[in-house]
Chains A and B, each alone.
Chain A
Amino acid sequence: MGFAISQSSMNDQAPQPSAGRNGTLAIRFTLNGREVAIAVDPTERLLDTLRYRLNLPGSKEGCGEGECGACTVIIDDLPANSCLVPTFQVRGCNVRTIESIPPSSLQPMLESGATQCGACTPGVVVTANWIKEHSGVLASHTMRALMAGNLCRCTGYDGIIDGLENWIGTPRGGRP
């Protein structure tokens, strides 16, 4: 039997552009406010396109299978795990990544200790920013439920939740 650990074909990362090969698809989409036109292999993941071809390595790969949220981006105003999205599917879409969020706005997250090692952090910030922009969802869901798609192994989540509360400017609930 052959043995390589990588068991999932979704993990096949494609740093090399495959334009020109048979079967590639030419697509256009909006990325952080700018038009992008590229040719992609149908199996290419959006995460790899962003990281290895479009020079936006802020989005991270934590698991490659939709569990950790480190790769979170916004597609047409909804958070998505970019490791699970074939790039051709964002044809015509509006994609926003961590690189679209101004660092100067992140002070509340910094002060609360929302980041430690930083590997989960871009995904956390993208989701948090989305919640901030859609704070109406807090009427029906807790922040903890809304953040549950972003795994963090360092902070225990309090730093993230506190930071998000500060960022949104909601009164703090609960703990003195």
Chain B
Amino acid sequence: MRVLFRNCFSIRIKPLPMQRLEGLSKLSGAERYLDDEPLEGSLKGCLWGMTVRSPISRGTIKRIVYGAGFDWSTFVVVEPADIPGPNETYLIENDQPVLAPGYVRHMHEAVALIAHEDRNLLRRAVSSVRVEVEAEPPVLDFRVAPHADQIQRGSDNLIKKLQIKKGDVHAAFANAFKIVEGEYETGAQEHVYIENNAMSAWIENGANGDVVVVRGSMQCPYYVLNALKHALKRDETRVRVIQAPTGGGFGGKEDYPSTIALHAALLAMKARRPVKIIYDRSEDMAATTKRHPSLVRHKTAVDKNGKLLAQQIEVILDGGAYVTLSPVVLSRGIIHAAGPYTCENVLIEGKAVLTNSVPYGAFRGFGAPQTIFACERHMDRIARALGLDPIEVRRINLLKDGQTTSTQQTISGGTDRHALLNETLRVSEYDKHKHESEAFNKTHPYLRRGIGIATVLHGAGFTGNGEVYLNSKVDVGANPDGKIEVLAASTEMGQGTNTVFTKIAADAAGYDTADVLVCVPDTFRVPNSGPTVASRTVMVVGKLVERAIDDLAVQLGQNGKPLRGPSLKKAITAWHAKNPGKELKGRATYTPPPNVKFDDKHYVGDAYATFAWGACVAHVEVDLRTAAVRVLDFTAMQDIGKVINPVLAKGQVQGGVVQAIGWALTEEFKFKDGGMLNNTLTNYIIPTSDDVPPIRVVFHENPYPFGGGGAKGVGELPMDGPAPAILNAVAHATGADARAIPLTPEHLLPLL
């Protein structure tokens, strides 16, 4: 097989890794996503559901006029009055309504729901509905202070304000050799999971009365469950959430599926028939969450060697029209804002502000790519201001074990970040490309080549005490045939949960992977293992899988001595022979690694149990005639603890890098009245195979003892470095001091 590791620290993988469990079914087109399913079984007699949306960004709804020419008695229509419980989508602040209650705060906000069995007729009917809104002044630019008539929250539209303080930046500024300042901006980004949002709902009989069942494309079944419980006023015995095969998420199916699930459930409850809601691409792009746009300002004191003496950083995020996840995106953003560097004096102030745009939400990296973009562009600009090599400026500041981050977390774990950087330079042929580019630029009439770097970190798992509050649980069922079944709420959405959990469980139990099952997340069957987000699945939930197996192995062993392999299997079958019809389970609940402490009031302490580390190098070519940037070569080095499955892990890195290349260069949002104007794949440009080079991936393996199988998080780290590395390379190639992304030709041209 192909050697995936570039032999960084002499690792070679010999045997073929376990193959993606559902891989052949996906490749052959046999996998059934929700829209592929026939209207049979639970979906027999299914209606199609659609959403009536706000035509403007802010105002009072005067009337909803259902168009003439339709027999509305044959349609099911749901308005806010049909919601049994509070008209709130349960999340951090519950400020987002399920359906706009007479007042809209963003374009395309859901106002009413309509269902019918004829999908074509339904589309025409929904198009006929007119929502009359008396407009009020919207806030459309998060960077400028709102006028009095734009205030919609508190006295200043602030969603959240956070601060990190270490040492005394002001004293350091007074004595600095040099102060370097800069302002950096990043745009919104759409997830473009290729399977659009899809949700179904139906009513079943249960022990305590009827049960509302929701099944669909989602990342976080228990978020959906909590949202249903809250707005439908039901307990968890009367709502049930099941994940359907999910065609990509990237954070986009973290919180918004709760809204769609409520919509499908409300229609199904009113109709007393099953309902399917399938978004098409334009609706999905217009109505669902995006990556938060950001503005980050850096003011940095340095000595003559480029050593960081003080970092003052201001982070502003556009939160959109509702709070949703913005406070925690901001939190992660500010914690990553100072980069993987040591500095004794740091002041980071962050705020997320309300605007009348679609609510911004989770997207791979969750605030960190935005602040790391600013930090890594700024590091290069510091080097330039001092006439130093950008590599040297990083070398002298990179955190060493024993040093502290901005939250005063002492770094440990034994990863040598200097060695990691050196290896990245070697693998990427940095020096060769640098010199060749400089020679090339002297001779070519209109092409310019350059090379750029970024060094990054990413905290895996929930921020601060988040994992403690989540209190995640995993069960492992032991079946009468001796097989074990992982019962966890973590979803497979392409990133490989099923395959990796199978491997982790098999290794922990001493089993063959064929004797391990992974249950489809279903809130009637699996405990709450927390959401499938934050690069936490393998590291945090994977560890719980191991511990649940240990629990089972100890239950069946003698005197606390765990059983493994064939003896475990034998003991399970023997137990069932003695206890026919009974359930045998191992259980585990999250406990934090020892000595991890965070003060979430003052933002001091261990913001994450551990960090994953990375470095990347981009080699680019700029066409001076068109201002188009092409990435010629890209190297991503990642320290993600132990690599459980090299093919899957490499795929995560390559996919993340390419998504970041799109964010950096082409994925530009056009807004009109706070709504997405280019909500089609024709006008919102994501990279094709021909736009990107092969991505070189290098793993540095340093097992993390508190992660499942020794792993740290991998999902988000690859998103952090590419954008600044590319812009640094463009600066090297052309001298253009670009500080905003996406760096489309239109934006680059004036800088050339």
Contacts and interface: CB of A to CB of B under 8 A. Distances in A.
Given A55-B38, A156-B657, A158-B654, A64 B281 contact: yes
Interface in A1-48: 1-8, 11-16
Interface string B487-498: 000000111100
A158 B652 CA distance: 11
Given A63-B681, A68-B194, A116 B651 contact: yes
- Which of A12, A66, A97 has its CB near the most chain B CB atoms (within 10 A)? A12
A95 interface: no
Given A16-B119, A112-B647, A157-B658, A117 B246 contact: yes
Contacts of B682: 63, 65-67
Interface residues of B, number: 87
Nearest to B681: A67
Contacts of A111: 1, 16, 19, 647
Q: Which of A5, A109, A143 has the most CB of B within 10 A?
A: A5
Interface string B113-125: 0000011100100
A2 B128 CA distance: 5
A114 interface: yes
Interface stretch (B83-91, B373-381, B690-698): B690-698
**Interface secondary structure of B, over-half rule:** loop
Contact of A119 (B23, B55, B194, B650): B194
Contacts of B552: none
B130 A153 contact: no
B642 interface: no
A147 B689 contact: yes
B2 interface: yes
A70 B194 contact: yes
A13 to B, nearest CB: 6
A6 B690 contact: no
Contacts of B287: 5
Interface stretch (B28-36, B590-598, B612-620): B28-36
A16 B30 CA distance: 23
A160 B287 CA distance: 31
A86 interface: no
B127 interface: yes
A139 interface: no
Contacts of A2: 67, 127-130
B26 A118 contact: yes
Contact of B280 (A11, A16, A106): A11
B127 A118 contact: no
B193 A153 contact: yes
Contact of B28 (A106, A151, A162, A176): A106
A3 B55 contact: yes
Contact of B690 (A15, A66, A148): A148
B33 A60 contact: yes
B536 interface: no
Interface of A: 1-8, 11-16, 51, 55, 57-68, 70, 97-99, 101, 103, 106-107, 109-122, 125, 142-145, 147-162, 172, 174-176
Given A118-B494, A148-B688, 15 more contacts: A5-B108, A5-B283, A15-B119, A58-B30, A63-B681, A64-B280, A65-B681, A111-B1, A117-B246, A118-B22, A122-B27, A148-B690, A159-B650, A160-B689, A176-B3
Interface of B: 1-3, 6, 16, 19-20, 22-33, 35-38, 50-55, 67, 108, 118-120, 123, 126-131, 191-196, 245-250, 280-283, 286-287, 493-496, 647-648, 650-651, 653-659, 679-682, 686, 688-692, 694-696
15 contacts: A2-B67, A4-B129, A5-B280, A5-B679, A57-B36, A58-B28, A63-B682, A110-B19, A111-B647, A112-B2, A113-B647, A119-B193, A154-B494, A156-B656, A156-B659
